[in-house]
């Protein structure tokens, strides 16, 4: 799905977060959702779907390196992760099974709105752990767990490790299990104190390594919007999620996008109608991606730089770093290598599931 923002705050999945970390447009809730085919039709109708030349060879995926992974089977298990979750077990006192309809009533809209968590169950039918609160979830479970991601609970700019942030889950669950048809008791696999210690480690790692690779192409005045759109398409980028341009990742490893392109010029993204009518002529183009989420950050960075160079030849402008200082490629390469080395020394491999969960 592609989100067409009419005006206001852009909030789209895992991609547009880059925009928020560096530039937040004005806030409003007015937007509507369109399919990718509808979005393609929009730019076709505007005559913005065909690039004037093909420079997509610059984004050569053969230069990227991906680990060999075993694909998950259809019967893969999904359950709480003790490395990041505080897990509360719901145990039927008399050994009854949990029913999907009863689970849905216990973990209703009010719970989902105020107690962020994931509900897992051990399916009798499928003989595996799976999501117990999904729309197509099985009907019966022998075990049930509430998993609370402690990094999410405490990951504020200035973390407050108040035990009450976790205690509230137990208090609310105690109220809810009293209304359940069968008698249930609660048990948590580790103390709140240990869960908080785990959260402190995860939050510290998040703040240390939650870094983006950024290259800015800055115009002396303004880029012509039509020429800008054409240059980004010519280099092989696709307009899509969040009304940004992306180099999409089609492998089952790492983030959905290798890198994205946005702007600090209001509203921060690219509406094709505004580009076509001449109202969107940005002062800069910001190329970037999350380093820990990237499938292959070092090589993606090198190819992103080639894309920026290409756009500079087409549009002019100056190449700057994320601090808006003259870009130093060797310095950026060195810092990238050091960052990845530090991450790996702490057990974080870029693009791996652990990194995707943490960042």
Q: How far apart are CA 94 and CA 81, in angstroms?
A: 27
C-alpha dihedral, 112 to 118 to 123 to 127, nearest 10°? 170
> Is the previous residue joined to 197 through a cis bond, with omega within 30 degrees of 0?
no
Q: How far apart are CA 102 and CA 288, in angstroms?
A: 45
Question: What is the model's pLDDT at position 133?
Answer: 86
What secondary structure does DSSP assign to 199-262, as a single string?
HHHHHHHHHHH--EEEEEEE-SS---HHHHHHHHHHTT-EE-GGG-EEEE--SSSS-SEEEEEE
pLDDT tens digits, the chain, 359 residues: what are they? 333 333 333 333 333 444 434 443 332 233 345 666 777 888 989 999 999 999 999 999 999 999 876 555 556 889 999 999 999 999 999 999 999 999 999 999 999 999 999 999 999 999 999 999 888 899 999 999 999 999 999 998 888 999 999 999 999 999 999 999 999 999 998 999 999 999 999 999 999 999 999 999 999 999 999 999 999 999 999 998 999 999 999 999 999 999 999 999 999 999 999 999 999 999 999 999 999 999 999 999 999 999 999 999 999 999 999 999 999 999 999 999 999 999 999 999 999 999 999 99
Question: What is the model's pLDDT at position 34?
Answer: 61
Question: What is the model's pLDDT at position 72?
Answer: 53
Residue 118 CA: distances (Å) to CA of 80, 137, 155, 300: 8, 13, 17, 33
Q: How far apart are CA 217 and CA 309, in angstroms?
A: 9
Of 58, 92, 77, 64, nearest in space to 304 by CA: 58
| Beta-carbon count within 10 A of 60 CB | 12
Q: How far apart are CA 68 and CA 44, in angstroms?
A: 38
Q: How far apart are CA 227 and CA 281, in angstroms?
A: 9
Task: Check residue 10 and report its DSSP letter.
Answer: -
pTM greater than 0.75: yes
Q: Cα 65 to the chain's mean position, in Å?
A: 21
The 3-class secondary structure across 33-87, one letter per residue, is: EECHHHHHHHHHHCCCCCCCCCCHHHCCHHHCCCCCCCCCCCCCCCCCCCCCEEE
Token code pair at residue 266: 């209001």
Q: How far apart are CA 152 and CA 17, in angstroms?
A: 15
Q: How far apart are CA 249 and CA 237, in angstroms?
A: 11
């Amino acid at each position: 799905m592609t989100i067409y923002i009419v005006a206001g705050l852009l909030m789209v999945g895992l991609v547009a977060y880059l925009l928020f970390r560096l530039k937040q447009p004005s806030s409003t809730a007015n937007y509507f959702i369109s399919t990718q085919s509808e979005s393609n039709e929009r730019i076709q109708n505007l005559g913005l779907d065909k690039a004037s030349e093909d420079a997509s060879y610059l984004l050569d995926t053969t230069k990227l390196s991906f680990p060999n992974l075993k694909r998950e089977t259809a019967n893969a298990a999904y359950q709480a992760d003790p490395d990041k979750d505080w897990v509360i077990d719901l145990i039927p006192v008399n050994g009854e099974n949990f029913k999907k309809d009863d689970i849905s009533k216990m973990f209703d809209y009010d719970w989902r709105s105020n107690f962020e968590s994931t509900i897992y169950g051990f399916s009798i039918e499928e003989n595996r752990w799976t999501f117990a609160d999904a729309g197509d979830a099985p009907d019966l479970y022998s075990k049930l767990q509430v998993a609370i991601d402690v990094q999410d609970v405490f990951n504020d700019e200035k973390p407050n490790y108040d035990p009450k942030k976790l205690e509230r889950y137990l208090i609310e669950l105690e109220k809810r299990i009293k209304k359940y048809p069968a008698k249930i008791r609660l048990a948590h696999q580790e103390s709140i104190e240990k869960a908080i210690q785990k959260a402190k480690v995860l939050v510290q790692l998040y703040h240390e390594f939650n870094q983006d690779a950024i290259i800015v192409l800055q115009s002396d005045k303004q880029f012509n919007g039509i020429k800008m759109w054409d240059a980004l398409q010519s280099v092989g980028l696709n307009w899509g999620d969040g009304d940004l341009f992306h180099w999409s990742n089609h492998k089952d490893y790492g983030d959905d996008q290798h890198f994205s392109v946005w702007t600090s010029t209001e509203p921060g993204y690219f509406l094709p109608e505004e580009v076509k009518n001449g109202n969107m002529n940005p002062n800069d183009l910001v190329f970037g991606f999350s380093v820990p989420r990237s499938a292959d950050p070092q090589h993606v960075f090198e190819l992103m730089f080639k894309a920026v160079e290409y756009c500079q030849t087409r549009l002019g402008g100056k190449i700057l770093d994320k601090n808006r200082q003259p870009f130093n490629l060797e310095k950026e390469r060195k810092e990238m290598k050091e960052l990845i080395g530090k991450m790996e020394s702490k057990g974080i491999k870029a693009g791996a599931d652990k990194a995707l969960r943490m960042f």
